[in-house]
Chains A and B, each alone.
Chain A
Amino acid sequence: MAIINFNKTVLHNLISKPATRLYPFEERVYPERTRGHVENDMDVCVLCGLCSIKCPTHAITVDKAAKTWSIRPMSCIQCRCCVDNCPKKCLSMAQKFQEPGPEKVTKTFHQTEKAIAAQEALMKAAKERAAAAAAAKAAAAGTATPAAPVQKPTE
């Protein structure tokens, strides 16, 4: 009796569409969470290096002097650690898997002019803030306890 039961499945499969995708004509739509490969938005990246510290396979290298961010795709295990730990949220996980290649490569990206300018502006602003805060503190110390400022002559 069971063979009749399975015949039903076989007949159903004969008349229905194939369960597989007709690949070159029909591309797969990946779910939102698919971990394909890591991408970096170099317009935003400040090269803090946190991703390279957190990477369990040491696939990411950050060179602050040369202003480059590089990744070895063959070492990357797509664990999403770097993306989760990125403070600027410039790293993201692209859904599509990487194209196969004939050799092991290291992909290097240069920090863009825009990112450098933004980072310098930020640093400048931070320095100004720090200087203003120090001046305010010195002024406050100067008015509250007149005897205290020992550093004043050195300024």
Chain B
Amino acid sequence: MSKRSVIPFGPQHPVLPEPIHLDLVMEDEKVVEAIPSIGFIHRGLEKLVDKKDFNEMVYVAERICGICSLGHGLGYSEAVEHVMDIEVPSRAKYIRTILSEMSRIHSHILWLGLLADGFGFESLYMESWRLREQVLDMFEEATGGRVIFSIMKIGGIRKDISNEMLADFQKRFDKMEEELKDIAKTFLDDVAVQSRLRDVGFLTKQQAEDLGCCGPFLRASGVKRDIRSTGYEAYGELDFEPCYSEIGDSYARTEVRIKEIFQAFDLIRQAIAKIPAGEIDVPVKGFPNGEYLTRIEQPRGEAVYFVKANGSKFIDRMRVRTPTFANLAGLTETLKGCDLADVPMLVLTIDPCISCTER
């Protein structure tokens, strides 16, 4: 047996925008075991329920993460709405769905850019982020913010998006879809890209299920599980089938995410065609009393929101379980047996969002 050594990876690493630390137990060039440790950027946002009332807490929930801010606001609002027995108007549900899919497009293209940057394909990275910028501009036109949207509220949304604006978005998305096809081809067919992605970081279907993985990371291992198929918001009225791949390596994860971007374009098209007219919010009376656990599909995977209220202005307890937290166990499994040089790429393929995980 060759000598074992431990190499620390992170919390500061060129490939990581956020701090996570991995202790890599190495045997020559191969990783034998990876021990993750987190806790570098805990902010205690869940505890703020003591200080902010249940309406103001939406703004705090949005600030859990910069990329999935819309999802966090949506998940929290949904949980409180269930506690208070509020039925959100149909138009608000459709707009929430459209915005969620827009946020999925921008998150996945961001990830594609980071991946290209990770394996050193600079122009592909720039090209991806150029496309992402268009989605951020649309977000700003619709909600007033590029990263923090402040459009969710308990009982609906705060600003309507007019049908003309949606039609304009539709045109821009059609154009973007064409441009994305070129990039997708490069990601999926290029020899240089494939040499970094193919046959590394396998995770079998059984392992993915056992370790409780979620999102594209899980679906790339052949499990067809997507919370959107439960039909929350307007997803139940749209034609939707989860994207998945049977292979389970880094390439499969890229493929699933690219498929999901195209599917998001399709879902937006369907939603814009079907969107009904009407109210965008309902007045909220009284204070929440009771508890509820809700799940939504964020770009990175399944996020769980738990809210326990006691009938006063302030909620007792708010808990968020983010997709990255669920995927860390799967990550340590994929790292076993890989080369040291592949570690940054494999860490990237779970699309880590450490700020979310630590809140």
Name A residues whose Cβ lies closer than 8 Å to a Cβ of B: 1-3, 5-6, 8-10, 13, 19, 30-35, 56, 77-80, 84, 93
- B52 at the A/B interface (Cβ < 8 Å)? yes
User: Scoring B residues 136 to 158 as 1 if CB is less than 8 Å from chain A, else 0, what string do you get?
Assistant: 01001111110010100000001
Q: Is the Cβ of A5 less than 8 Å from the Cβ of B150?
A: no
Report which of B59, B123, B130, B182 forms a contact with A5, defined as CB distance below 8 A: B182
**Given the contacts A10-B123, A31-B140, A5 and B189 also touching, CB distance less than 8 Å:** yes
**Given the contacts A3-B190, A6-B186, A84-B158, A77 and B59 also touching, CB distance less than 8 Å:** yes
Interface size on B, residues (CB 8 A): 29
Q: Is the Cβ of B189 less than 8 Å from the Cβ of A8?
A: no
Question: Using a Cβ cutoff of 8 Å, how many contacts connect chains A and B?
Answer: 66
- B175 at the A/B interface (Cβ < 8 Å)? no
Q: Is the Cβ of A34 less than 8 Å from the Cβ of B144?
A: yes
Q: Is the Cβ of A6 less than 8 Å from the Cβ of B190?
A: yes
Measured between alpha carbons, how far is A3 from B189 in the docked complex, in Å?
A: 8
Provide the residues of chain A in CB contact with B56, threshold 8 Å: 56
Q: Is the Cβ of B143 less than 8 Å from the Cβ of A33?
A: yes
**Given the contacts A2-B190, A3-B191, A5-B182, A78 and B141 also touching, CB distance less than 8 Å:** no
Q: Is the Cβ of B144 less than 8 Å from the Cβ of A6?
A: no
Measured between alpha carbons, how far is A80 from B124 in the docked complex, in Å?
A: 37
Query: Known pairs A3-B192, A9-B123. 8 more at Cβ < 8 A?
Result: A2-B185, A2-B189, A5-B186, A31-B144, A33-B141, A33-B144, A33-B159, A80-B150
Provide the residues of chain B in CB contact with A31, threshold 8 Å: 137, 140-141, 144
Q: State the main secondary structure of chain A at its contact with B.
A: loop
Provide the residues of chain A in CB contact with B141, threshold 8 Å: 31-33
Between A and B, 30 residue pairs with Cβ closer than 8 Å are A1-B189, A2-B188, A2-B189, A3-B190, A5-B182, A5-B185, A5-B189, A6-B123, A6-B182, A6-B185, A6-B190, A9-B123, A10-B123, A13-B127, A19-B130, A31-B140, A33-B140, A33-B141, A33-B142, A33-B143, A34-B140, A34-B144, A34-B145, A35-B144, A35-B150, A56-B56, A56-B59, A78-B150, A80-B158, A84-B158
Provide the residues of chain B in CB contact with A5, threshold 8 Å: 182, 185-186, 189
Measured between alpha carbons, how far is A93 from B159 in the docked complex, in Å?
A: 14
Report which of B140, B150, B186, B189 forms a contact with A79, defined as CB distance below 8 A: B150
Measured between alpha carbons, how far is A93 from B158 in the docked complex, in Å?
A: 15
Provide the residues of chain B in CB contact with A56, threshold 8 Å: 52, 56, 59
Measured between alpha carbons, how far is A30 from B186 in the docked complex, in Å?
A: 33
Measured between alpha carbons, how far is A33 from B137 in the docked complex, in Å?
A: 11
Residue from A2, A32, A35 whose CB has the most chain B CB atoms within 10 Å: A2
Measured between alpha carbons, how far is A101 from B186 in the docked complex, in Å?
A: 44
Measured between alpha carbons, how far is A93 from B150 in the docked complex, in Å?
A: 14
CB distance from B156 to the nearest CB of A (A): 13
Provide the residues of chain B in CB contact with A8, threshold 8 Å: 182
